[in-house]
Chains A and B, each alone.
Chain A
Amino acid sequence: MTDFSNRKPETGAFFPRDRGWHAPGLTPGYKTSVLRSPQKALLSLDGTISEITGPVFGHSMLGELDNDLIHNFAKSGESAIGERIIVHGRVLDERARPVPGALLEFWQANAGGRYRHKKESYLAPLDPNFGGCGRTITDENGFYSFRTIKPGPYPWPNGVNDWRPAHIHFSVFGHGFAQRLITQMYFEGDPMIWKCPIVATIPDRAAIEQLIAPLDWANTIPMDARAYKFDIVLRGRRSTLFENRMEGN
């Protein structure tokens, strides 16, 4: 746990979530959602102290290679096989303010689309030098970056011939538990994006496009790695001007 001692913590309640922008619970094209989605309406509750607070993690918990998936599981002197990339961006809130100290965790398949997980049985081989997990914490201005290899697409038992587009899963902690978010990042130009039933759970094309990271040519490191930019927006906090609280704007 850390504190940003030169920064006054924000304590307002979060903007309500736009549930028409996110995927609904029930999306039959993604079959598993059928028995795993609530049928009753959610109970709406303006954020209380239980949701506007949340755990905050310090940079000291990070190991040196936590944000380097090319090397954090590799044998000494070796590295993962695949397209070397840097994924970087900024975590902002809906008011476009940077979110410092946000913990990001990511996981992905290897270059051939194979996950290192006992329940995964895809015939593509494991890469002995690739684990597939990483994490980092945003800096004072909300920036983050990590190195990895570009994951491959993989087939999954949904429809008879469904394949996931290349993607990286992200888990994000802001400053309040109500901001908790898990999402997936896709890659610019991948034709598989528009065939995927999980992508299609999101009703609005503009919302889907918010998950597609553009190739960031300017940040490509020559002779080393290309870059993709992925900004993440978490819920913003309301001003507390008119509420019965000590702290204001």
Chain B
Amino acid sequence: MVQSLGYLKETPSQTAGPYVHIGCTPNFADITGVYPSDLGSSMVNERTLGDRITVTGRVIDGAGSPLKDALVEVWQADASGLYNSPAEMRGTADPNFTGWGRCASDGQTGVYSFETIKPGRAPFRDGRKMAPHITFWIVARGINIGLHTRMYFPEEVEANAADPLLMRIEHRHRVLTMVATREGSVYNFDIHLQGEKETVFLDI
């Protein structure tokens, strides 16, 4: 006999279903008067430090159709690369930046959109700097367990080339699936769930 490790099993995931908005963005679902506003609908205020950007795009299925019932969440560092989280031990993040946002994709077009700031660089576990990035988590009807990925910035050519995560992608042409396209301060990041353009998803 050996000692028991005593670990519990993680509660298994289930799909968020088509009515995820009722619970996560009730005002978007026209259930008003319960919460003053939908959680995560605003990440910045007028005092937030950093370069203002818009991050927008669609989540696209294996037949090429945008999902009109997806829920997208983002998590990112502030302009100096610090996270607004109790587990951030390197310093205090910008108190005027939540770092977390949530957006339901539009019921007609499937477009999601975040008003945020460009994140600074944060270190990988071994101290190397990661390129600036935004962490994404996507749930929807038909997705049994939330999908994690990251969005990187196209102008960060050198930083992206040395990014410890991007460097691990074996099929090099797939690196581009994690890099947004840019027009001024607007970054477009389409997430392809399956097929030729399939986004690299992470087991983190």
CA of A56 to CA of B75, assembled, Å: 12
Closest to B77 in A: A50
Within residues 27 to 61 of chain A, which ones have a CB less than 8 A from any CB in chain B? Answer: 27, 30, 32-40, 42-57, 61
Instruction: Tell whether A72 pairs with B12 under 8 Å between CB atoms, given A115-B19, A119-B18.
Output: no
Does A53 lie within 8 Å of B204, measured CB to CB?
A: no
Chain A residues closer than 8 Å to B200, beta-carbon distance = 40, 43
Distance of A17 from chain B, by nearest CB (Å): 7
Does A131 lie within 8 Å of B31, measured CB to CB?
A: yes
Chain B residues closer than 8 Å to A199, beta-carbon distance = 14
Could you list 27 A-B pairs, sorted by A, with CB under 8 Å? A9-B86, A13-B125, A18-B10, A19-B203, A21-B10, A22-B10, A25-B143, A30-B15, A34-B62, A37-B142, A38-B199, A40-B200, A43-B165, A49-B122, A49-B123, A50-B150, A52-B87, A53-B83, A55-B99, A56-B86, A107-B23, A117-B18, A119-B18, A131-B31, A169-B14, A202-B14, A207-B12
Does A17 lie within 8 Å of B14, measured CB to CB?
A: no
Chain B residues closer than 8 Å to A3, beta-carbon distance = 86
Considering residues A23, A43, A134, A207, which has the most beta carbons from chain B within 10 angstroms of its beta carbon? A43
Distance of A48 from chain B, by nearest CB (Å): 6
Within residues 54 to 91 of chain B, which ones have a CB less than 8 A from any CB in chain A? Answer: 61-63, 67, 69, 73, 75-77, 83-89
Contact for B194 among A38, A44, A46, A202, CB less than 8 A? A38
CA of A38 to CA of B10, assembled, Å: 22
Chain A residues closer than 8 Å to B148, beta-carbon distance = 51, 178
Considering residues B7, B143, B204, which has the most beta carbons from chain A within 10 angstroms of its beta carbon? B204
Interface residues of B (CB under 8 A from A): 6-24, 26, 29-31, 33-36, 39, 61-63, 67, 69, 73, 75-77, 83-89, 98-100, 107, 122-127, 130, 133, 135, 137, 139-148, 150, 165, 168-169, 193-195, 198-204
Interface size range on A against B: 35 or more
Chain A residues closer than 8 Å to B123, beta-carbon distance = 49
Does B14 lie within 8 Å of A96, measured CB to CB?
A: no
Does A53 lie within 8 Å of B198, measured CB to CB?
A: no
Does A116 lie within 8 Å of B14, measured CB to CB?
A: no
Does A33 lie within 8 Å of B142, measured CB to CB?
A: yes
Instruction: Tell whether A49 pairs with B88 under 8 Å between CB atoms, given A23-B13, A35-B194, A107-B20.
Output: yes
Closest to B141 in A: A32
Distance of B22 from chain A, by nearest CB (Å): 4
Distance of A156 from chain B, by nearest CB (Å): 9
Instruction: Tell whether A117 pairs with B85 under 8 Å between CB atoms, given A23-B144, A181-B146.
Output: no
* Chain A interface, DSSP helix/strand/loop, else mixed: loop
Does A36 lie within 8 Å of B142, measured CB to CB?
A: yes
Instruction: Tell whether A25 pairs with B99 under 8 Å between CB atoms, given A17-B203, A42-B201, A92-B8.
Output: no
Instruction: Tell whether A117 pairs with B193 under 8 Å between CB atoms, given A35-B142, A131-B34, A184-B14.
Output: no
Which segment of A79-87, A216-224, A229-237 sits at the interface? A229-237
Does B86 lie within 8 Å of A183, measured CB to CB?
A: no
Distance of B96 from chain A, by nearest CB (Å): 11
CA of A24 to CA of B12, assembled, Å: 11
- Residue A94, interface by CB 8 Å: yes
Chain B residues closer than 8 Å to A13, beta-carbon distance = 125
Contact for A198 among B15, B133, B147, CB less than 8 A? B15
Instruction: Tell whether A21 pairs with B12 under 8 Å between CB atoms, given A43-B201, A132-B22, A132-B31.
Output: yes
Distance of A148 from chain B, by nearest CB (Å): 12
Does B133 lie within 8 Å of A50, measured CB to CB?
A: yes
